[in-house]
């Protein structure tokens, strides 16, 4: 039973995190939009870099990318909240039912992992060279987030036995 509670609480913790990130991006739109804009403009990279041909200058595309990020963060939060709730409801259920109750949580955790790994590490970090910027480098933060989410994803994905079975 402790393992099931643990999976519920860790999923809820990721849900809270994604909720706060999405909320912060909405309520402090200008500051966080500036981050996305600088990354996509590639205007703070090493002076000698040769990858600036990848830059995106169109403000409409900056807003579209930022809104997509917010939507994906919010979807991560919703899926994780729903998943935590469903697991909480199934915490006393047989193993099969509890394992099936994880579907939304697994979807949310997977989406969150992809947001920070693909969106921030791969696209922002590598394609737009964010790692080269001393001011707008979000790679270390994204890495912390995706590792945390990834560890919770691996843990929650582990099959659970019947209630009362020792782990």
Q: What is the pLDDT of residues 73-102, one digit of tens each?
A: 999 999 999 999 999 999 999 999 999 999
Range of the domain at 25: 2-157
49 three-class SS: coil
Largest CA distance in the chain: 62
Is 153 a domain residue?
yes
What's the structural domain count of the chain?
1
Do the domain assignments include residue 128?
A: yes
Is residue 139 assigned to a domain? yes
CA–CA gap between residue 141 and residue 139 (Å, rounded): 6
CA separation (Å) from 124 to 41, 54, 75, 159?
11, 11, 20, 34
Q: pTM of the full predicted structure?
A: 0.93
Residue 162 lies inside a defined structural domain of this protein = no
167 in any annotated domain: no
Q: Measure the CA–CA gap between 1 and 98, rounded to whole angstroms.
A: 11
Note whether residue 166 is domain-resident. Answer: no
Report d(CA 145, CA 19) in Å as an integer.
13
DSSP 29: H
Q: Give domain status of residue 73, yes or no.
A: yes
Residue 113 lies inside a defined structural domain of this protein: yes
Q: Residues 6 or more apart from 62 whose CB is under 8 A from it?
A: 33, 36, 37, 40, 41, 56
Mean pLDDT of 9-35: 97
pLDDT of residue 4: 95
């Amino acid at each position: 039973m402790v393992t099931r509670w643990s999976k519920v609480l860790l999923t809820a913790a990721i849900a809270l995190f994604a909720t706060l990130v999405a909320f912060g991006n909405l309520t402090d739109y200008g500051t966080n939009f500036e981050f996305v804009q600088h990354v996509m403009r590639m205007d703070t990279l090493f002076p000698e870099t040769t990858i600036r041909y990848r830059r995106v200058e169109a403000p409409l595309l900056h807003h579209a990318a930022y809104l997509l990020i917010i939507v994906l963060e919010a979807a991560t939060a919703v899926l994780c909240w729903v998943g935590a709730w469903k697991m909480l409801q199934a915490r006393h259920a047989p193993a099969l039912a509890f394992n099936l109750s994880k579907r939304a949580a697994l979807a949310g955790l997977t989406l969150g992992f992809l947001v920070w790994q693909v969106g921030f590490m791969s696209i922002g970090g590598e394609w737009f060279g964010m790692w080269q910027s001393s001011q707008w480098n979000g790679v270390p933060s994204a890495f912390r987030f995706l590792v945390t989410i990834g560890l919770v994803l691996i843990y929650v994905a582990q099959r659970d036995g019947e209630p009362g079975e020792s782990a």
